[in-house]
Structure 1
Amino acid sequence: MKKNICHSLILLLLVSIGSLTAQNGPLATRQSIARFLNSHVSGELAIGKITVDSLTILDKAKKVRVVASVNCSYIPFTQQRVQVVYDSIRNILPSSYASYKVELVTDNQPIENLVTGQSRKYTFRNKVDKPLVTALSKPFKTEKGLRNKHIALWQSHGYYFEQKLNRWEWQRARIFQTVEDLYTQSYVLPFLVPMLENAGANVLLPRERDTQTLEVIVDNDKATHPSVYKEIQGDKPWSVGFGKGFAMLKDQYVETDNPFQDGTFRQTVTRKKGKESLAEWIPSLSKAGKYAVYVSYKTLPESTEDALYTVYHKGGKSQFRVNQQMGGGTWIYLGHFMFDQGMNESCKVQLSNLSSKNNRIVTADGVKIGGGYGTIARKVNNSGIVSENTKSSDNSGPKVLQSQLSIPYQYEVSGYPRFTEGARYWLQYAGFPDTVYTQSKGVNDYTDDYKSRGVWVNYLSGGSSVAPKEKGLNIPVDLAFAFHTDAGTTLNDSIIGTLGIFFTKEGDETFGNKASRYVSRDLTDLIQTEIVKDIRSLYEPAWSRRGMWNQSYFEARTPRVPTMLLELLSHQNFADMRYGLDPRFRFTVSRAIYKGMLKFIALQYNQPFVVQPLPVDHFSVRFTGAEEVELGWQAVRDSLEPTAVANKYILYTRKGNADFDNGVVVTSNKIRLHQEPGIIYSYKVTALNEGGESFPSEVLSACRVKDEKGVVLVVNGFDRVSGPADFVADSIAGFYDPKDHGVPYLNDISFIGSQYEFRRSKPWTDDDAPGFGASRANYETKVIAGNSFDYPALHGQSIVKAGYSFVSSSDESVGSGKVNLTEYPVVDLILGKERQTNMGRGVFDAQFKTFPAELQQTITAYCNQGGNVLVSGAYVGTDLWDNGEVNVQDLDFAKKVLKYNWRTGQASVTGEVKSVQSPFRMISGHYEFYNELNEHSYVVESPDAIEPADPACFTIYRYSENNLSAGVAYKGRYKTCVLGFPIETLKSDEQRDKLMADILLFMSSK
């Protein structure tokens, strides 16, 4: 009875306040709703405790209005989730309100308005006739990708000048072998930007994107000697343009110096046909290599929208149409290309006046090749400097030392590669107004750097359909993205996870084209959902999703286009970085970001989308005639994305010492090609669909030699990319790269030095003393070589010099039986630094085993039929004997088939090998392999010592420093040679040629 009376009193109370608009319902009901909301997302989101601030009954409207705390808005709402929430709240309410409409409000929005993809009043669309740059030489168009879209993004911070300390420094601490200023680059440059470009997008960055430290400027005013600018006059001659242009007149730029105001530019009139006028920029390069190419020009009222640029490079020529109606007065990126050393007509940039329209203006200014070192010089401003150990009287911050104000401080450049520097310096060097890059008017470079990025986005889009009344470069930006990794720390091994930030409460909460700023929440939700879903699926089921914050961060608030600020993880948190230092993780995260952007833009333009495929595998090359090869490969299914299905492929070819061509589309996964004898041909394949192009396969090569001694099959078994070795203990933990540095994808641009502070209890006191995870700085200006996936050609060069022909294959093709080993008298198995490798806490199985079961079976059968095998790799023993649980079958394969025993890992630190006396007198020589991090070859820090396991097997090489056995050879019914160091890491061609010739002579001996 008392219970019924209490319930009736509650109902009377609710009814009595039904006509009121701002009173709370019963506390117990609000608490029940709050408990439900918290339990609903428990374990899925780390968003803090949700409270219900008010519950109002509106009887006349027959509505129950519930107002929850702002962190309820951090939930990624879907239509299904909204329905579940409303049904559940309705069940919590007394039954008399079962027919009432329920409305849950958070952050001043009903939750149904927070559903990603729900109908907005206006979507964010740009009017684009022709994009900034169109790559004409790409053999495909992305009809359901990002063609004609423009994306502005940036990779957090950068090296900057701190006036208060009178020094250049990082904006974040050196911790866990990296620093955020570089760490985010390791996602953006090698992974995210190429993915977006492969989908057809124009990607704009406010920082230098080329890690090449050499830079050559070729300009009509002054070219870097002895580079040449020249003109070829056609029907319409070149003349001096009216206005300012670029000129490289200084070695350093100070204050607000602008190199795009120091020179002139050239111009001519476009022609649809007739004798063309050409401008040519011919660089002189001190070393061969891969370089970014940037062009600059002047945008005029009658500028052409299809200026034709041609880049001549080692792979041929690549052509681009550049819309000079936008982007004038800065550096416009065309692409990366391989160039030879020196100066020649085959490596140059050319601009033609041939166009689709007559009588438009085409302009020519400077060309920039390579990244170079920073040239913006800074010094202490009038506020003086501070002592690093002196605080102000109120202990609020550093104290200015007035006595130091009279010191005549000199301007100084960073001394670092330009790609390491912050956006503030690139934007000055790239010709942007000082109002973009120095909001503080030169007083505070730190705040200028983070503020400049958002202002840069607005200047890019000024004059376009986004902001038609504003001054700018007229580039129609579709979205902006800020990539950060500063998400806090934990004292244990739990994961901080992923946070998304956007901002809506600016002005009337719309953009210039009247689209709701809540589309930024849609962008944030789509990207964050993809990231968390993919990480949980592939690597870590417990990865944290921290929700979405609608907060006024400058980088989220300032851009007048849809913008997301991502805090992917915490670079200060060890548990996060056990994943974050692995290139596989970086690839997956970058692909998730690209997918989120793709789906967001498809939503805005109401168009279908297709995700670009994953790279192909099971690649192989075999001879089918004296001058013909057959290539075959397989598409890879993407378990995370149903649309990412390949329906075509692109085949790229490299002939001899040239570079890869622009590729041809292939409709089948098999093709036969002609080869000229005596020339090494190399091939790589990408998968293709309507959404774009995948990343490339490994590179395979082949060469037919006249009067060949035989044909060698080179098998590439080195697929590994991974982070460094790590360890976890109660009081210490960290990354121990002297044991295993890991393997970068192509190269590493974020490694700064080894971790030296392993004590978990050591606290952060300053960025110069960050405590646990503190790392050295001796590599932070270096680019570290990783897995190039291009070793069959390197081995093949030595094989050809020894008089043998060769073809190559992936290890997957060999293991699956696609390649018949018995067709070849010798098999050269490249294992590099292949070894079983986990990621993070090892939730999923390890990858990259040296000898998978299928490969063991294939090699065993081959040897039993008299085949001869050469194996080289740093972990040929360690991976079988000392990498977790030992498998007897693995050891039997090594000992009974390949005839070697493992003695120890980490067998050498000097990287020197010498031959020793054995029955095989043809084997001799002294060799050096790369044992320290460098830009030329991946490092071999832990080579194996291996010993003979059969009376007919002998040591043939020893490590010079300790005489441990470095390589063995066996001669019986078949022959094997196993080396504990990788052949491709020898320091010269001559060394590789000598070693390969000796071993092939041994293999052919009676």
Structure 2
Amino acid sequence: MKRFLYYSILIFISSTIWNACVVVKEVIDEEEFNLKATDFKENFPTFRKYFGIPLSGKVDSVFYDDTEKKIIFRFNKQFASIPLREDNVAAIKDSVKNFFGDEYSLYDFEFYIEKYPIDELIPNYFRSNRTEIDKARLPLPREKKNPIIKNISKPFQITNGLNEKNVLLWHSHGWYYNNQEKRWMWQRARLFQTVEDIGPLSFTIPFLIPMLENAGATVFVPRERDTQVNEVIIDNDTNKQPAYLESVTNKKLKWKSYETGFALKNKILTEGENPFLKGTSKYIETDTTETATIKWSPDIPETGEYTVYISYQSFEDSNDETIYFVSHAGGKTEFRVNQKIGGGTWIHLGKFLFRKGKDKNQFVMLSNKANSSGKIVSGDAIRFGGGMGIIEREGQISKRAKFIEGSRYWLQYAGMPDTLVYNLNKSADDYKDDYQSRAEYGNYLYGKPYGPNRNRNEKGLGIPIDVSLAFHTDAGITRNDTVIGTLMIYSTPGLDSLDVFPDGVSRLANRDLADIVQTQIVEDLRTLYDSAWTRRQLMDAMYSEAARPNFPSMLLELLSHQNFLDMKFHLDPRFKFDASRAIYKGILKFLAYQYNYEYVVQPLPVTHFAAELVNNKVKLSWQPKPDPLESTALPEKYIVYTRIDDGGFDNGRLIDSTSILIENLEAGKIYSFKVTALNKGGESFPSEILSVGISKKNTQPVLIVNGFDRVSPPASIESPKFMGFFNIIDEGIPYLYDYGYTGVQFNFDPDSKWETDDNPGHGASASDYETKIIAGNTFDFSYIHGKALLNNGFSFCSVSDESVWDGKLSLTKYPFVDFIFGEEKKTLPPKSNSPLGIEFQTIPDLLKEKIKTYIQLGGKMFMSGSYIGSDLYTDPDSVGVKFANEVLRVKLKTGYASRIGEVYSVNEKFLSKNFLVKFNTEFNEKIYKVEAPDEIGPINGSEILLRYNENEFSAAVGFREGRGVVVFGFPFETILDETKRNEVMKAVLDYLEVK
């Protein structure tokens, strides 16, 4: 504030020094005032710069009213592109008043930005006194109704998160049909190994959508959200028993046909076809006991995770708590569906593991059981998986998975009315249809009076949308050492040019939402990644995706996909998590204020997870992780999820403490666990997955330590003439899976200019992987190692590496320890001045000491990973080199030792001569790719066990002398053949003489 006053004094002195004797004006002299106003406009650039107002911010007019004793300032709307708060608004007012001086002290100064008083543009959320808020932008009371989906099997309830809130979210553009070029193509250019059409979904699908759902929200997406390329549809019109099976036990009841429903009788959908008007559906009355069901049993083409979608019809007397069961590889999950709303489209239930084939325990079942009889339950088609595109455009289909395609095509498949939602340009311009359709989908979901803009009174589906987000990464380039940064767009006028929603609520709610979310993003990213992260404009503009929604909405341009520095952040999974969490927190804070409740932010994932076998019982323990950015994100309880063998995870059990003892483990089975933290605001992301197994032959467990936590972007090179991502050095590690990779960058010239999207200049990238899903760190490798141990007759348990180096667990209890290091290695944050520092060191100093002590006391150890040697050899003062040479008895010879991934035995004490093993060196969706394994050589009495086939480099080294260590220069879990993995693990155990 002192700076503001100082600035105001300077302006005052510079503008009034000619008049040492101030005369207070009771009546304004017009000529003098006009000179003063002109002087103010001339000095405005200095004023504008000081307050951070963009160049486009201008003074529209300055005039006075002698009768009312007012001086009125009007600025254009770009003046309000900065966040307005009580303090800077007060400073702006004081500065202007000081400029005009005491001679005008008898006049009130009023400030408007276009038609709004400047104070009105301060978001309600940032006002210090709730009694002085603008109630006109708060939502009107609405009829209380059950949420459209409730997962009854969840062992907890959310009360202070996004429970019972509906969020509409879309991730940019998508693969579309260009009506002029007569081809399917991207709407943006392939740059820096991705494209904006799929880059944002690498934020939303793995991070943002789960965060919103973990907070209790139901999320609607106008693009296909399931990346599963297989699809199974079961429908009463096209399927027979046993795939589709109706049953009735009450003779008074009967499943009846309704004339409207889903049917897909051809493999493609042509222009204007609505599959939800091509078939019939079934309905029956409810009963207080279950007397009727429909069962949909899929024939799954390939084991994997499949999203389950249901469809039904809505009637006035529909049951608002209709029971559905999804029976999957992890058990049975129960849902309650409000069938009064949402009828006639696909409704997302969740994602589940299903095994290949026809399994009697895999089905979806609808029940007519209800609290009262006489209501209606409806059943139509059930869909498993996302599938491939089937929409025909001028004789062509996309040949891509549905999740790759733009909104226009999924909305046709989802039964939306064409001329109201997705075909707004008479089939002549799919590009416009695509961006215009996304918001109209939300309007149709909501319905009268919030319906599609061509007919706001369209009944729609009755699903009240609370907020919407359009997620983009806009274009922009800078050669400075700064990011383009975050732009947020909102619109005060709607498509009807009115500044209120159809119910009369002020569309200034859009500005509140946009400001809160942009503020949260910028504050979090400046704290975690880049203290100079650029906050761009808070722009009021008639963009279609901002103006069309008939409910609070925003259009986010998180960063620039065209600027290399921005893309260093974009491709980093750590950044994706934190940016997504900031967006989620902003939405939460906005809605909590709108609906007047105390928000609680969901916790961060737990750490120090351990699963130890104790007398044939498993003790699980973990620690909560505090969030330095959010005081409310404290765990209160925890959920433990269990998986048996290769099944799916169950619905979880609620735990009050940070440990639990689980009994009755069956020998010969592998039990896997993950833990989430829970509070009133929602559920955290899961921990890593740890597994245990009890052998029928040997109940004394060996230990697996998971040291592979790394997620990272690809390597980058930066110089004045060569700049970009250099995958040959390091391709990075996705979090779980990468959905947004197109192919390697091939244009590294920063001076190369964009010519067309097909020839976009600097950053141009290949397209050979853009339809593929790429496996990254799934945090589930203790299962693979453990299965090999169990198959060799050894019981096992597993722990995280931090639980070892922090002393929570002693290695010396175990006769054998298997360290998983995968592609763990020292990784810098995307910005050099980030407070995060180096992460993911393979063997930190504390862990070195634990390992050294264990081996000195006679321990036997196996460790595998791509960078064990190369990471240790980067340690300062040769600490790592000494540890490698003297403790592990390995020396680094080179990195990047193999491209084809074949190794063979050269030591018959280990495996028979020329025994050949192949590990993964190709991108696929099953296991991560190994691109740069180490060549590690023997030292201090160790010996070579394996060599790389292509060049005879040494691939594995071991020693044994009552104690011993075997070190692989590649990750064990990436050996492709399970039988070979079992044999290699046996060789390790036999070589080290583990009993």
**Corresponding residue for residue 628 of structure 2:** 639
Alignment of 1:308-323 (within 5 A): 308-323=323-338
**Corresponding residue for residue 4 of structure 2:** none
User: CA shift at 1:760, angstroms?
Assistant: 1.0
2:200 is aligned with what amino acid? Answer: T
**Corresponding residue for residue 560 of structure 1:** 550
Alignment of 1:321-400 (within 5 A): 321-379=336-394
2:416 is aligned with what amino acid? Answer: F
**Corresponding residue for residue 650 of structure 1:** 639
Contact 1:628-1:672 at 8 Å conserved across structures: yes
**Corresponding residue for residue 268 of structure 1:** 284
2:383 corresponds to 1:415: no
2:565 corresponds to 1:571: no
Shift in alpha-carbon separation, 1:172–1:619, aligned structure 2, 3 A? same
**Corresponding residue for residue 93 of structure 1:** 100
Shift in alpha-carbon separation, 1:466–1:438, aligned structure 2, 3 A? closer
1:419 is aligned with what amino acid? Answer: F
1:494 is aligned with what amino acid? Answer: T
Please give the alpha-carbon distance, in whole angstroms, between the structure 2 residues aligned to 1:6 and 1:209. 66
Shift in alpha-carbon separation, 1:110–1:487, aligned structure 2, 3 A? farther
**Corresponding residue for residue 212 of structure 1:** 228
Shift in alpha-carbon separation, 1:239–1:980, aligned structure 2, 3 A? same
**Corresponding residue for residue 9 of structure 2:** none
2:292 corresponds to 1:277: yes
Contact 1:198-1:692 at 8 Å conserved across structures: yes
Shift in alpha-carbon separation, 1:509–1:1003, aligned structure 2, 3 A? same
Contact 2:444-2:451 at 8 Å conserved across structures: no
**Corresponding residue for residue 985 of structure 1:** 974
Alignment of 1:953-964 (within 5 A): 953-964=942-953
Please give the alpha-carbon distance, in whole angstroms, between the structure 1 residues aligned to 2:241 and 2:737. 31
Contact 1:120-1:516 at 8 Å conserved across structures: no
1:443 is aligned with what amino acid? Answer: A
Contact 1:293-1:370 at 8 Å conserved across structures: yes
Please give the alpha-carbon distance, in whole angstroms, between the structure 1 residues aligned to 2:22 and 2:69. 15
Please give the alpha-carbon distance, in whole angstroms, between the structure 2 residues aligned to 1:4 and 1:982. 73
Contact 2:825-2:842 at 8 Å conserved across structures: yes
Contact 1:915-1:957 at 8 Å conserved across structures: yes
**Corresponding residue for residue 915 of structure 1:** 905
Please give the alpha-carbon distance, in whole angstroms, between the structure 1 residues aligned to 2:580 and 2:913. 47
Please give the alpha-carbon distance, in whole angstroms, between the structure 2 residues aligned to 1:10 and 1:458. 62
Please give the alpha-carbon distance, in whole angstroms, between the structure 2 residues aligned to 1:962 and 1:24. 84
Shift in alpha-carbon separation, 1:972–1:250, aligned structure 2, 3 A? same
Contact 2:482-2:534 at 8 Å conserved across structures: no
Shift in alpha-carbon separation, 1:24–1:311, aligned structure 2, 3 A? farther
User: CA shift at 1:456, angstroms?
Assistant: 1.2
Q: Which of 581, 585, 594 pairs up with 2:584?
A: 594
Shift in alpha-carbon separation, 1:792–1:100, aligned structure 2, 3 A? farther
**Corresponding residue for residue 810 of structure 1:** 800
Please give the alpha-carbon distance, in whole angstroms, between the structure 2 residues aligned to 1:113 and 1:132. 35
User: CA shift at 1:304, angstroms?
Assistant: 1.3
Contact 1:900-1:946 at 8 Å conserved across structures: yes
Moved more, 917-926 or 303-312: 917-926
Secondary structure of the residue that 1:345 maps to in structure 2? coil
Q: Structure 1 length normalisation: TM-score? A: 0.93
Provide the aligned C-alpha RMSD in A.
2.3
Shift in alpha-carbon separation, 1:691–1:709, aligned structure 2, 3 A? closer
User: CA shift at 1:732, angstroms?
Assistant: 1.1
Please give the alpha-carbon distance, in whole angstroms, between the structure 2 residues aligned to 1:24 and 1:455. 51
Contact 1:24-1:56 at 8 Å conserved across structures: no
Q: Which of 437, 440, 444 pairs up with 2:422?
A: 437
Please give the alpha-carbon distance, in whole angstroms, between the structure 2 residues aligned to 1:965 and 1:908. 10
Q: Which of 847, 857, 878 pairs up with 1:855?
A: 847
Alignment of 1:398-797 (within 5 A): 411-435=395-419, 436-463=421-448, 469-506=457-494, 507-625=497-615, 627-674=616-663, 675-708=665-698, 710-797=700-787
Contact 1:30-1:54 at 8 Å conserved across structures: no
Question: Once the two structures are superposed, what CA deviation does each residue of 1:983-1002 show, in whole Å capped at 9, x if it has no partner?
Answer: 01110211211111100111
Please give the alpha-carbon distance, in whole angstroms, between the structure 1 residues aligned to 2:14 and 2:440. 63
2:758 is aligned with what amino acid? Answer: D
Contact 1:154-1:482 at 8 Å conserved across structures: yes
User: CA shift at 1:57, angstroms?
Assistant: 4.6
**Corresponding residue for residue 191 of structure 1:** 207
**Corresponding residue for residue 878 of structure 1:** 870
Please give the alpha-carbon distance, in whole angstroms, between the structure 1 residues aligned to 2:601 and 2:479. 39
Please give the alpha-carbon distance, in whole angstroms, between the structure 2 residues aligned to 1:167 and 1:866. 67
2:436 is aligned with what amino acid? Answer: K
2:120 corresponds to 1:136: no
**Corresponding residue for residue 842 of structure 1:** 832
Question: Once the two structures are superposed, what CA deviation does each residue of 1:346-393 show, in whole Å capped at 9, x if it has no partner?
Answer: 1000000111232111111000100110000111xxxxxxxxxxxxxx
Contact 1:466-1:476 at 8 Å conserved across structures: no
1:356 is aligned with what amino acid? Answer: N
2:166 corresponds to 1:177: no
1:959 is aligned with what amino acid? Answer: Y
Question: Once the two structures are superposed, what CA deviation does each residue of 1:56-110 show, in whole Å capped at 9, x if it has no partner?
Answer: 4555545443333432201111223222333333333313445754433224322
Please give the alpha-carbon distance, in whole angstroms, between the structure 2 residues aligned to 1:704 and 1:533. 49
User: CA shift at 1:29, angstroms?
Assistant: 3.5
Moved more, 181-190 or 47-56: 47-56
Secondary structure of the residue that 1:243 maps to in structure 2? strand
User: CA shift at 1:923, angstroms?
Assistant: 8.5
Moved more, 513-522 or 915-924: 915-924
**Corresponding residue for residue 406 of structure 1:** none
User: CA shift at 1:971, angstroms?
Assistant: 1.9
Q: Which of 240, 244, 249 pairs up with 2:265?
A: 249
Question: Once the two structures are superposed, what CA deviation does each residue of 1:542-599 show, in whole Å capped at 9, x if it has no partner?
Answer: 1111021100001111110011001111111101000000111111111111111111
Q: Which of 157, 181, 184 pairs up with 1:165?
A: 181
2:348 is aligned with what amino acid? Answer: Y
**Corresponding residue for residue 5 of structure 2:** none
Shift in alpha-carbon separation, 1:373–1:758, aligned structure 2, 3 A? same
Please give the alpha-carbon distance, in whole angstroms, between the structure 2 residues aligned to 1:704 and 1:923. 32
User: CA shift at 1:15, angstroms?
Assistant: 6.9
Question: Once the two structures are superposed, what CA deviation does each residue of 1:112-150 show, in whole Å capped at 9, x if it has no partner?
Answer: 111111522331254341011111111111100111111
Secondary structure of the residue that 2:584 maps to in structure 1? helix
Shift in alpha-carbon separation, 1:955–1:107, aligned structure 2, 3 A? farther
Shift in alpha-carbon separation, 1:736–1:478, aligned structure 2, 3 A? same
Contact 1:534-1:592 at 8 Å conserved across structures: yes
Q: Which of 291, 306, 314 pairs up with 1:299?
A: 314
Please give the alpha-carbon distance, in whole angstroms, between the structure 1 residues aligned to 2:139 and 2:355. 45
Shift in alpha-carbon separation, 1:974–1:560, aligned structure 2, 3 A? same
1:797 is aligned with what amino acid? Answer: K
Contact 2:613-2:701 at 8 Å conserved across structures: no
Secondary structure of the residue that 2:785 maps to in structure 1? helix
Mark the runs of 5 or more structure 1 residues left unpaired by the alignment: 380-410
2:127 corresponds to 1:111: no
Contact 1:374-1:413 at 8 Å conserved across structures: yes
User: CA shift at 1:246, angstroms?
Assistant: 0.6
Mark the runs of 5 or more structure 2 residues left unpaired by the alignment: 1-12, 128-132
Please give the alpha-carbon distance, in whole angstroms, between the structure 1 residues aligned to 2:223 and 2:31. 56
Shift in alpha-carbon separation, 1:605–1:898, aligned structure 2, 3 A? same
2:85 is aligned with what amino acid? Answer: T
Shift in alpha-carbon separation, 1:919–1:261, aligned structure 2, 3 A? closer
Secondary structure of the residue that 1:368 maps to in structure 2? strand
Please give the alpha-carbon distance, in whole angstroms, between the structure 2 residues aligned to 1:640 and 1:3. 43
Please give the alpha-carbon distance, in whole angstroms, between the structure 1 residues aligned to 2:792 and 2:448. 63
Shift in alpha-carbon separation, 1:13–1:553, aligned structure 2, 3 A? farther
User: CA shift at 1:483, angstroms?
Assistant: 0.5
Q: Structure 2 length normalisation: TM-score? A: 0.94
User: CA shift at 1:21, angstroms?
Assistant: 14
Moved more, 677-686 or 108-117: 108-117
2:632 is aligned with what amino acid? Answer: T
Shift in alpha-carbon separation, 1:163–1:469, aligned structure 2, 3 A? closer
Contact 1:500-1:549 at 8 Å conserved across structures: yes
Please give the alpha-carbon distance, in whole angstroms, between the structure 1 residues aligned to 2:43 and 2:986. 79
1:475 is aligned with what amino acid? Answer: I
The percentage of counterpart residues that share the same residue type is: 43
